[in-house]
Structure 1
Amino acid sequence: MAVTVKIPTQLRAATDGDATASVHGSTVGEVLDALYDRYGELRSRIAEDGGLRRFVNVYVGGEDIRFLDG
């Protein structure tokens, strides 16, 4: 499934200035992997110890994924 990811201003240096990215993925993990494949520097900015850094918030349909089941 294709999804559109909004890139915050603070991370756009790692995405060649792109404000959005359209990638394919059925899970948040697949979407992140697709973003990392496209923007190699992004991983070092948001990932840490096999997960996301504490300051990184991910929303699906406007809901913070930390509070969603699954």
Structure 2
Amino acid sequence: MSVKIMIPTPLRAYTKGQDEVEIDQEGTVGELLTALVTQYTDLKDHLYQDETSLRKYVNIYLGDEDIRYLDHQNTPIKDGQTLSIVPSIAGGY
């Protein structure tokens, strides 16, 4: 089983510049994200506010679906699917 995790530009400094990481593991969104931050430990502080809770400004998509509208981190992942990490960006005057 192989799942691609798309890494946004602001977080690539923590994945050695990679724009995508392939994880060969079955499981849920949470398990795949754990595998990702195990491989790239500096990334953890940018994704999680504590051991298990994602930061509020970090959006995770499975394909085109926001995992908050599925089963959050318990959403199962199938072979060949893609996870995208999309941090919210704020700005203004």
Is the TM value for this pair above 0.5?
yes
Give a deviation string over 1:6-47, Cα, whole Å, max 9, x none: 000010011110000000232001101110111010101111
- Return the alpha-carbon distance in structure 1 between the equivalents of residues 7 and 22 of structure 2: 11
- Return the alpha-carbon distance in structure 1 between the equivalents of residues 26 and 40 of structure 2: 16
1:6 has 2:9 as partner: no
- Return the alpha-carbon distance in structure 1 between the equivalents of residues 65 and 46 of structure 2: 22
Q: TM-score, normalising length from structure 2?
A: 0.69
- Return the alpha-carbon distance in structure 2 between the equivalents of residues 33 and 46 of structure 1: 10
Higher relative contact order (CA 8 A, sep 6+): 2
CA-based RMSD of the aligned residues comes to 1.2
- Return the alpha-carbon distance in structure 2 between the equivalents of residues 39 and 25 of structure 1: 19
Q: Which runs of 5+ in 2 are unaligned?
A: 76-93
Count of aligned pairs: 70
- Return the alpha-carbon distance in structure 1 between the equivalents of residues 26 and 42 of structure 2: 20
- The structure having more radius of gyration, on CA atoms, is 2
Quote the residue 1:58 is aligned against: 60
Q: Which runs of 5+ in 1 are unaligned?
A: none
Q: TM-score, normalising length from structure 1?
A: 0.90
Q: Which runs of 4+ in 1 moved over 4 A?
A: none
AA at the equivalent of 1:68: L
